Amino acid sequence: MLPQVFKFFLSSGSDVYECDCRVFPSDPFSPGPNVSLTEQGLVAISVGCLKVQSVLYFCRQMTNDALVTIARNRPNMIRFRLCIIEPQTPDYSTLEPLDAGFGAIVQHCKELRQLSLSGLLTDCVFEYIGVHAKKLEMLSLAFAGDSDLGLHYVLSACESLRKLEIRDCPFGDEALLANAAKLETTRSLWMSNCSVSFEACKLLAQKLPELNVEVIDERGHPDTRPESCPVEKLYIYRTVSGRRFYTPGFVWIIVEDTSSTPCSNGNFSLASA
């Protein structure tokens, strides 16, 4: 039976054209010289595996042409997760960003629900996502984008978005605060090593009292630094049971509170277990 989820493929030069495809496990991080993880394996699968809908693919190189081919061959894709081992790797044949390739994925795969991005990407790819990925529910990205505009494209236009994971991107206060209302309909937002200030986190807690807003920062209490300093991690999420009461010492729960406590800052109380 055709596997629906492909976790690893070793692109060793062999073509895959059978309808009954198998998963070929490999260590994508192996330093061995014989490991050749390229775009060719995924292209071959898109040609021969007509029913594949979900892909998690690790590789060392990718091209826009390959992504366009995959998108056209498999428009029935609902989950597409690509991990290029080295961050910010461009199209190796042109040295261009992979914006056009991922743009083709969201344009042709109308039923796409989950997308993970990697490689060299600019704000343009997020404009493509905002325009075309109307059914997208989960988006994961790292080392992508140029400015807040990229995040704005996603939050302002992806109507079905429920879960957003962002790491090491230049996104910050402006896009988050301008699109705070969108966060009310999401299940969770995780931002790590971005440009979100502690001040913006407090404003979000004020705007979104029904959501849990947490700052995760191992450098100590956020009040020990200027409010304009970026926090290490921001986690905003919705739960039926409300805020959690037990957290590690580096997790700061930002809650709206008119009372004055030793940990309060203005109208906000920062609780840490």
Q: Is 161 helix (H, G, I), strand (E, B) or coil?
A: coil
Strand partners, 164: 139, 189
pLDDT in tens, 8-50: 443 443 344 333 333 343 565 565 544 567 888 889 888 888 8
Residue 250 makes CB contacts below 8 A (sequence gap 6+) with 216, 217, 218, 272
Mean pLDDT is lowest, of 31-40, 72-81, 100-109, 153-162, for 31-40
Residue 124 backbone dihedrals phi, psi, to 5 degrees: -60, -40
Condensed to tens digits (0 to 9), the pLDDT of residues 177-234 reads 999 999 999 999 999 999 999 999 999 999 999 899 999 988 877 777 888 899 999 9
Quick one: which of 94, 215, 234 has its CA closest to 164?
234
Where do the domains of the chain lie?
5-195, 197-273
Q: What is the rounded end-to-end Cα distance, in angstroms, of the chain?
A: 49
What's the pTM value of the predicted model, to 2 decimals?
A: 0.83
Average pLDDT score, the chain: 83
The pLDDT > 70 percentage for the chain reads 80
pLDDT at 87 over 70: yes
Mean pLDDT in residue range 65-85: 94
Q: Of 101, 96, 94, whose CA–CA distance to 117 is shortest?
A: 101
Q: Match domain 5-195 to its CATH number in 2.60.120.1140, 3.80.10.10, 3.30.365.10, 3.40.50.970.
A: 3.80.10.10
- So what's the pLDDT on residue 179? 96
Residue 9's pLDDT is: 42
Paired with 83 in beta bridges are 58
Higher local confidence (pLDDT), 25 or 150: 150
